[in-house]
Amino acid sequence: MNQSEMNAKIARGQGFIAALDQSGGSTPKALAGYGVEEGAWGSDEEMFGLIHQMRSRIITAPCFGGGKVIGAILFERTMDGQVDGKPTPQALVDQGVVPFIKIDKGLEAEANGVQLMKPMPELDALLKRARSLGVFGTKERSVINAANRDGIATVVRQQFEVAQQVLAAGLMPIIEPEVNIKSADRDASDRILLEELLKALDGLGDNQQVMLKLSIPAEANLFQPLVDHPSVLRVVALSGGFSRTEACRELARNPGLIASFSRALLSDLRHQQSDEEFNSTLGSAIDEIYEASVSELPA
């Protein structure tokens, strides 16, 4: 797939985007969920080696390249690694899966009800390397914990500033201002975020497009104006702490949104499973998330 073909697949493809981008701080938790307890590695290199083995097992599973997964978001180390003797992005492309890379370096402390992204001084070099490896796009995450308009406006402004840097490098940015689904004023946060995103989207240049990765809104179909906006290539949804069953149920109430799940996709996979068990378990999760992503059910 070239860039144009990847763009068309993400814009119109039937399926969802797998999030395989757990990074340093969340890697031990991800490994524990996979049945590899802390203490099974003696260094960070060994820890990252174990998580790469898990991701390689996922990417090479027959069901992963079966057409229902249209994209995958990678951690930087995964992007720089190899799967079946190929650079990971190429291994994905060979499976018909469009590669993305997580670019944020974590979150600042909370202020005004939000957590901004930490500085990314080496972003230009990362973007250049990603482009050279055939990566299509990027993902950057902030968090909104309260319905504070000033805080949410600051999150959106920072996200779109970074998105411009990504666009200038020839990559497609996924903007991810995650609303904490456990916050007491989640619905109010959703509504403020919608207003701020629409203003920012209206300010993009001619022919500029971005993607959005959002928490599933408390009110079904609230984000339809974003799905329909000409400057949005695709809107994807994170699971945000919902179980897979809950996340799929909520997603199906929002036609036009597709999944970009991590924990909800991987939660039943275990290191100890045979290849047959592993592939069957992953296949069932992929089928369930796919059905929710292509659902046309009304709210």
Question: CA 209 to CA 283: how far, in whole Å?
Answer: 32
Determine whether 213 is an active site residue: yes
Amino acid letter, 243: S
In the set 140, 176, 196, 250, the catalytic residue is 176
78 — phi, psi (to 5°)? -65, -40
Cβ atoms of residues 92 and 32 within 8 Å: no
Q: Are 136 and 98 in contact (CB under 8 A)?
A: yes
Q: How many residues belong to the chain?
A: 299
Is 46 annotated in the active site? no
Closest CA to 192 of 176, 204, 177: 177
**Looking at 139, 178, 213, 250, which residue is catalytic?**
213
Please report the beta strands in the chain, taking only residues with DSSP state E, as ranges in sequence order: 16-20, 69-74, 82-83, 86-87, 98-102, 114-115, 137-144, 172-179, 210-215, 232-238, 258-259
Residues serving a catalytic function are 176, 213
